[in-house]
């Protein structure tokens, strides 16, 4: 049985990045409304935060996240649920 690697970003990755983003905002007590009100600072702040989160994902979380996605979500859960849905 050949295993095809999922190369898409995926919804789970987006949720994990959003959760990390929220934790960072909470931890550093960042004033989100202040960033939104200052139009010049919001772009640079968001770009820096996104780059930081991408670095965290690539450095620390990608291996575990990919393993969980491919070996647990796809192999165990999806392959057991998919036959329950009829194909057209």
Residues 8-40: tens digit of each pLDDT = 667 788 888 888 888 888 888 888 777 666 666
49 in Cβ contact with 24 (< 8 Å): yes
Percentage helix, strand, coil for the chain under 3-state DSSP, each rounded to 5: 80, 0, 20
Model pLDDT for residues 35-47, shown as the tens digit of each residue: 666 666 777 778 8
Model-wide pTM > 0.85: no
List, in order, residues 6 or more apart from 61 with CB less than 8 Å away. Answer: 16
Interhelix angle 11-27/39-56, rounded to 10 degrees, is: 120
Token pair listed for 19: 């959760």
73: region left, alpha or beta (phi > 0 left; psi from -120 to 50 alpha):
alpha
User: Which two three-digit tokens encode residue 3?
Assistant: 């295993």
């Amino acid at each position: 049985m050949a295993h095809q690697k999922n190369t898409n970003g995926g919804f789970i990755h987006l949720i994990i990045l959003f959760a990390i983003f929220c934790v960072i905002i909470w931890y550093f007590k960042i004033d989100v409304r202040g960033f939104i009100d200052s139009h010049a600072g919001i772009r640079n702040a968001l770009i820096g935060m996104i780059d930081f989160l991408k670095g965290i994902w690539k450095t620390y979380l990608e291996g575990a996240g990919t393993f969980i996605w491919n070996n647990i979500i796809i192999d165990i859960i999806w392959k057991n649920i998919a036959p329950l849905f009829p194909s057209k």
